[in-house]
Amino acid sequence: MTTCCKTKCLEEAQAYIQELKTLKPCLYDKDFLRTWDKSYDDIRTVLLVAQILEDLYCANVSCRIFESGIAASVFRDNSTRTRFSFSFAASLLGLKISDLDEEKSQIAHGETVRETANMISFMTEVIGIRDDKWIGQGHKYMVEVAEAVAEGSKEGVLPQKPCLVNLQCDEDHPTQAMADLLHLVKHFGGMDKLKGKKVAMTWAYSPSYGKPLSVPQGIIALLPRLGMDVVLAHPKGYELLPEIIEAGKKHAADNGGSLTVCNSMDEAFKDADVVYPKSWAPLEIMQERVRLPSREGPEQKKLEERALAMNAEHKEWECTEEKMKLTKDGKALYMHCLPADITGVSCKEGEVAASVFERYRIDTYKEAGHKPYIIASMIITSKFKDPAAVMEHLIKEKKPRVIPL
């Protein structure tokens, strides 16, 4: 990193801070569970703070805000990217991770959620939760935890109230959707450049079972409100939750964006500026899965077989070179939350042709790279009333993150 680059980063950060000061967010002391519960200024604030943090990191300015304190994580599903992103964000701000491994805890022992939530929060600044496998459960669990720590804080149990960051639930995956949005802002050169751009959020074939609906739901609820024209496409039977479609349509009004639904990948790809082909599970089967008496066993196995058979009827939903030709100048930006099912690489037949993925591979890595900053931004905007002041404080202190030698 040259001195010149650093200067440029700091200048950019200063400009973002000025923009930040014009906004009226309502994020302080709140949790970040679903983007559609947030105002347009909230979204812009989180985005701007994330961009400033990226600039400060690049300029080797320490973003430590905490001398001590815990970032607690609860992962009820596997994770690589998000687990590391949460670690990155925690480390950036000076927090230490403490993971609630439910198998090694006494939770089986009949402990209630509200009790556990308080027990892990005595010196906790943020709780990050992933709970995305069971429809109707993940968001509900997060609300329960949020209410418990709010009670604990009000009753004097907790000296500070930890904020919650949704690291993927059954409804939304806000750290992903916001990182995706930041990727688009960088790609098109500004938030105002997103207006009128067409995004194809489409289902794609995968040989694997039970992929959550939260990524496409996050995208269709968030991008229309930036003025983008989002087309959701999927085979019949792969509908998303209707209330989230509604949320997406409602918010679209804010900036003249739109959300439409169809059952044709070609139609969605036609003249698209951005394509996001990604597999998810059939809604009805995911709902039946929750209703089964047990979470293991032969009935669950049978359901999985049904879902895989259903997927297999739609192998033509693949992001091939031919499909890419349908997009605007044949050059739409391909996006994915990773890992993708790449035909001939990670599976025999999958979501995307190897040559298409390879062309955009580095782009998808960059897309993922925004997540740590988005998470750190969600923490800062919840813990501090005046995030612009926090950013200015860091720049004024200018403590180097790595000794500058």
- 363 φ/ψ angles, rounded to the nearest 5 degrees: -60, -45
Owner of token pair 């927090």: 95
Total residues at interface with a second copy (CB under 8 A)? 84
Token pair, residue 47, equals 């985005």
Token pair, residue 28, equals 């302080």
Token pair, residue 80, equals 């690589």
- Residue 17 CB, shortest distance to a second copy, in Å, is 14
Contacts of 99 (CB under 8 A, 6+ apart): 72, 73, 74, 75
Contact between residue 225 and residue 255 where contact means Cβ atoms under 8 Å apart: yes
Beta carbon nearer to a second copy, 157 or 308? 157
Binding to a second copy (CB under 8 A) within 232-291 occurs at none
Site string for a second copy, 367-396 (x = CB under 8 A): -xx-xx----------xxxx--xx--x---
Beta carbon nearer to a second copy, 123 or 245? 123
The span of 12-20, 115-123, 308-316, 326-334 binding a second copy (CB under 8 A) equals: 115-123
- Residue 348 CB, shortest distance to a second copy, in Å, is 11
The span of 169-177, 253-261, 308-316, 358-366 binding a second copy (CB under 8 A) equals: 358-366
- Residue 145 CB, shortest distance to a second copy, in Å, is 14
- Residue 402 CB, shortest distance to a second copy, in Å, is 6
Half-sphere exposure of 352 (CA within 13 A, CB side): 26
Give the one residue of 29, 37, 115, 313 binding a second copy; rule: CB under 8 A. 115
Question: What is the distance between the alpha carbons of residues 182 and 160, in angstroms, rounded to a whole number?
Answer: 30
- Residue 350 CB, shortest distance to a second copy, in Å, is 8
Longest alpha-carbon distance in the chain: 63
Beta carbon nearer to a second copy, 253 or 312? 312
Give the one residue of 40, 66, 188, 209 binding a second copy; rule: CB under 8 A. 66
Contacts of 168 (CB under 8 A, 6+ apart): 77, 79, 82, 130, 131, 132, 138, 175, 176, 212, 214
Token pair, residue 126, equals 């943020």
Give the one residue of 16, 36, 57, 334 binding a second copy; rule: CB under 8 A. 57
Beta carbon nearer to a second copy, 53 or 247? 53
Binding to a second copy (CB under 8 A) within 118-177 occurs at 118-120, 122-125, 152, 155-159
What are the Cα distances from residue 57, in Å, to 12, 92, 165, 369, 377? Answer: 12, 9, 22, 13, 13
Question: What is the distance between the alpha carbons of residues 76 and 131, in angstroms, rounded to a whole number?
Answer: 5
Binding to a second copy (CB under 8 A) within 295-334 occurs at none
Beta carbon nearer to a second copy, 244 or 337? 337
Question: What is the distance between the alpha carbons of residues 312 and 295, in angstroms, rounded to a whole number?
Answer: 24
- Residue 4 CB, shortest distance to a second copy, in Å, is 16
Give the one residue of 255, 284, 346, 395 binding a second copy; rule: CB under 8 A. 346
Site string for a second copy, 69-108 (x = CB under 8 A): xx-x--x--xxxx-xxx-xx-xxxxxxxxx-x---xxxx-
Which strands sit side by side in the sheet containing 258-262, from one edge to the other? 258-262, 229-233, 198-203, 274-278, 333-334
| Contact call for residue 18 and a second copy (CB under 8 A) | no
The single-letter code of the amino acid at 214 is S
Beta carbon nearer to a second copy, 24 or 104? 104
Binding to a second copy (CB under 8 A) within 183-222 occurs at 208
